[in-house]
Structure 1
Amino acid sequence: MRMRRPSTRGILKRALFTMLSAQFLIVVALMVTTKVRKMMRGSRGNDTFPVTPPAPLEVGAGNTATVYTYGSDLFEDMLAAIGNARDRILFETYIIKADEMGRRFKQALIDAAERGVDVYVIYDGFANLVVTPSFLTFPAPIHVLRYPVFATGWRFFSPRQMGRDHRKVLVVDDEVGYVGGYNVGSLYASEWRDTHLKIEGPSVWDLDNAFVDFWNLRRRKRARMLKERGDASWEPQIRAHRNVPRQLLFPIRGMYIEAIDRARDHIYITAAYFIPDRDILDGLLAAAARGVRVRILVPEISNHVVADWLSRGFYSQLLDGGVEILLYQDWMVHAKTATIDGRWTTIGTANIDRLSLTGNYEINLEILDDALAQHLETVFETDASNARVLTRTEWSSRPLVAKACEWILAPLRPLL
């Protein structure tokens, strides 16, 4: 009796099933290991990471920029701005925790509305699924837009509806604006190293307009429409780049590629999750090949362990190409910043991964200013003092099982 040879389709199905099963098991193992590690680590007490004190800098025509690298400093300043609001508050966040800090922000917004300030709030529904729904209920007359967890109807399958609202923006009275990586919560106040930028002056309009456009694009039919106020000034040194999935606009990726191609001396990037696409990776390697010092600072262990392992899949190419990798120790670094040649800076909400660069609603400011770029270099060096440099020898000697896990997980990169 002749035995039937397995078909090519059958072999492919079994190979795919084996790969998916292996990926699932690795992801579960990584998540469990991370959970156990956090439980064993316990409280950090009064320990903290090195920070760079905020310092206001004049940027462009009539603008003042202040960089915040410690959450408590930022949150107190934001709460003071909300407390002094006279006309309008535009508050947008990816996450707002129902903890002490989150309650302070919520109460500050309620207090502002009660004294006659127009208050608008946007938050992402998916990112706040674990937050008690009652906490995310704001009393009238506060206007609230909850970015939905899923698009409704046939739009669910549209690539225009796949992204999250990952932006973190606060604008008060069109006079002061904040943008950066910080979500709102007690954890972020003292246990995460992040970066936010405060702008005072004419360029606040860019953040104001970004909020207004998003509100009007996503608001419910019966919700109030925000008026666009327009602006007579054009500030060439400060530009806002906004990813708008619904319109298939993703300029932040292009901003990075162009800036990297211009580099002549050095590139310093701080990234919470570094999973570059082919063009950004090639741009960094090309820069290093022409003599540019490329330094990338990432958390050694982030809050998303799968993202860590996907990022590690690029380390061999980067190290072989002369790129320096700095691993931030003991704490989560969540910043999304870069500075090039002491002239160019970007600070915003977009990570260097597919979700941020070609999926989510994001906003980054691009600033051409020597003083601000040099300040960001100081921030980078301060962070580097709490990081270790990954050597090629160390990376080559990692266990074989780690190399196998990186290879198995590599197909997941397009998802993140």
Structure 2
Amino acid sequence: MPEGSFRSALPVDIQVDWRRVLRLAGRAAAVAAAIPVTAGAAVMAIDKVRGQRHPLDAHFPTARPSTTDVEGSDATLYTFGADLYEDMIEAIESAEDTVMLESYIWKGDRTGERFKQAIADACARGVQVYVVYDGFANLVVPPSFFVFPPQVHVLRFPAFRAGLMTLNIRHSGRDHRKILVVDDRVAFVGGYNIGDLYATQWRDTHLRIEGPAVWELRNAFVDFWNRWRGPRHPVLQDKGAEHWQPALRAARNAPSDLVFPIRGIYLDAIDRATSHIYITQAYFIPDRDILQALLAAAARGVDVRVLVPERSNHALADWLARGRYTKLLRGGVRIMLYQGAMVHAKTATIDGRWATVGTANIDRLSLTGNYEINLDIVDRGLAARLEDVFRMDESNSRELTYEEWLGRSFVNKVAERVLEPLEPLL
């Protein structure tokens, strides 16, 4: 048979219209993609209505700020936003040389205005002020709010980046970090954004550092600023560290360079666990390696507990997190559901020896997508204080049992499967 004559040799009734096949395949793919997207939109719409009827505004237990010495640096732990904001503003108001402030979300409300005024006043005193905020996270904030005195150096991380449509992490990650460094003598880092809501209605965790370890956060700010500054922005000078403190180090994710140490410190610490692992997360969607590490720890007798909001401010994240619950509960991991309010902390303690506090959630966006920063801490004193905070949060939680989870409705089980393809977005 001559080359290329196979199709014409087929009987008429079985000849294939390849263009029609491709059109049908394309339509099928579009429908397959539309199903989870439509379901996700429906989930978020329903949750918005539910949130209006049942807001996450219940009172919750908090603790007064407490300070621990970590190898010559003071680490102060905050669990209530109003306490944190007072000390952050006080630090800015006492600044003599430099203020470096980086925030993922900075609301244009009363709290946001207080920070803005403190920044303007510092600038008027001759303090060199550097501000970084994420353009996408603040699209709902009036642009006029981010107009500062001309002496303030402002870096707006671009709202829309080239890799967004193709999910290219090197060119799409957000600046999810929250850092304040004043005069190289005091620094703050943790989960708190800036706004009225976070001051009193969200349970979050932040650390203030005073002493040699401030360098860790200053260096993180300087490196990010110099990496993303424009021609009109001054270069910030790197300062070497006079003191090396292996007990308190900053791990910094940089997706533009495919550098993701925060995921690594979690995996390393979990693998070392022999007694207990206490994790608090706003959005808990562990990847395969972290999931298997937690299950392996539970299998060797480690008490593994994960505390998350029963209902967070992101319904889609909640549904995707539930896709992990069957394996976790069946494997002996205990899941504690925070009640009535949003817990936004990103913390963990292991064996009363290791701890982390920072900005990264245990999900794809934080661990391999966004610019994040977590402190990697090996110190029994600070770990003990964080364990006290975990127990405080447990007092406002209920435990989800395996039996209860198996009894969830058939509709919920189907929804978990339908929404699963959206996981790469979170």
- TM-score range with shorter-chain normalisation? over 0.9
- In the superposition, the TM-score normalised over structure 1's length comes to 0.95
Residues 62-85 of structure 1 show CA distances to partners (whole Å, capped at 9, x for unaligned) of 210011010000001101111111
Aligned match for 2:180, one of 170, 174, 195:
170
Whole-angstrom CA distance in 2 between matches of 1:250 and 1:206: 17
Q: Which residue of 2 aligns with 1:58?
A: 69
Residues 74-112 of structure 1 show CA distances to partners (whole Å, capped at 9, x for unaligned) of 001101111111110000000000000000000000000
The 1:12/1:377 distance shift into structure 2, 3 A limit, reads farther
For the 8 Å contact 1:297–1:325, the answer to whether it is kept is yes
Q: How many residues align?
A: 413
Secondary structure of 1:56's aligned partner: strand
For the 8 Å contact 1:19–1:408, the answer to whether it is kept is no
- In the superposition, the TM-score normalised over structure 2's length comes to 0.93
Structure with larger Rg: 2
Secondary structure of 1:295's aligned partner: strand
Shift of 1:12: 5.1
Whole-angstrom CA distance in 1 between matches of 2:145 and 2:60: 31
Q: Which residue of 1 aligns with 2:51?
A: 38
Aligned match for 1:321, one of 312, 319, 331:
331
Whole-angstrom CA distance in 2 between matches of 1:271 and 1:178: 19
The 1:153/1:301 distance shift into structure 2, 3 A limit, reads closer
The 1:31/1:4 distance shift into structure 2, 3 A limit, reads farther
Secondary structure of 1:301's aligned partner: coil
Letter in 1 for 2:237: K
Q: Which residue of 1 aligns with 2:33?
A: 20
Shift of 1:290: 0.5
For the 8 Å contact 1:167–1:363, the answer to whether it is kept is yes
1:198 equivalenced with 2:208 (yes/no): yes
Aligned match for 1:119, one of 129, 134, 148:
129
Residues 225-273 of structure 1 show CA distances to partners (whole Å, capped at 9, x for unaligned) of 0111212110011011001112211110111101000000000000110
Equivalences for residues 219-234 of structure 1 within 5 A = 219-234=229-244
The 1:42/1:374 distance shift into structure 2, 3 A limit, reads closer
Q: Which residue of 2 aligns with 1:259?
A: 269
Aligned match for 1:243, one of 253, 263, 273:
253
- After TM superposition, what 4+ stretches of structure 1 lie above 6 angstroms from structure 2? 3-8, 153-157
Whole-angstrom CA distance in 1 between matches of 2:128 and 2:81: 26
Residues 10-53 of structure 1 show CA distances to partners (whole Å, capped at 9, x for unaligned) of 67545433332321232122112111112223695xx5210122
1:309 equivalenced with 2:295 (yes/no): no
For the 8 Å contact 2:280–2:347, the answer to whether it is kept is yes
Whole-angstrom CA distance in 2 between matches of 1:207 and 1:358: 20
Shift of 1:415: 2.0
Residues 115-171 of structure 1 show CA distances to partners (whole Å, capped at 9, x for unaligned) of 111100000000000100000111120000000012369999853221000000000
Equivalences for residues 303-382 of structure 1 within 5 A = 303-382=313-392
Aligned match for 1:48, one of 50, 56, 59:
59
For the 8 Å contact 2:279–2:306, the answer to whether it is kept is yes
The 1:333/1:157 distance shift into structure 2, 3 A limit, reads closer
Q: Which residue of 2 aligns with 1:144?
A: 154
For the 8 Å contact 2:163–2:172, the answer to whether it is kept is no
1:394 equivalenced with 2:407 (yes/no): no
Query: Percent of aligned pairs with the same residue?
Result: 58
Name structure 1 gaps, 5 residues minimum: none
The 1:188/1:279 distance shift into structure 2, 3 A limit, reads same
Secondary structure of 2:66's aligned partner: coil
Deviates more, 1:67-76 or 1:2-11: 2-11
Whole-angstrom CA distance in 2 between matches of 1:164 and 1:250: 14
For the 8 Å contact 2:305–2:333, the answer to whether it is kept is yes
Whole-angstrom CA distance in 1 between matches of 2:350 and 2:163: 44
The 1:25/1:249 distance shift into structure 2, 3 A limit, reads same
Letter in 2 for 1:38: G
1:185 equivalenced with 2:198 (yes/no): no
The 1:25/1:152 distance shift into structure 2, 3 A limit, reads closer
Q: Which residue of 2 aligns with 1:130?
A: 140
Q: Which residue of 1 aligns with 2:9?
A: none
For the 8 Å contact 2:163–2:170, the answer to whether it is kept is no
Q: Which residue of 2 aligns with 1:283?
A: 293
Secondary structure of 2:208's aligned partner: strand
Secondary structure of 1:239's aligned partner: strand
Q: Alignment RMSD, CA only?
A: 2.1
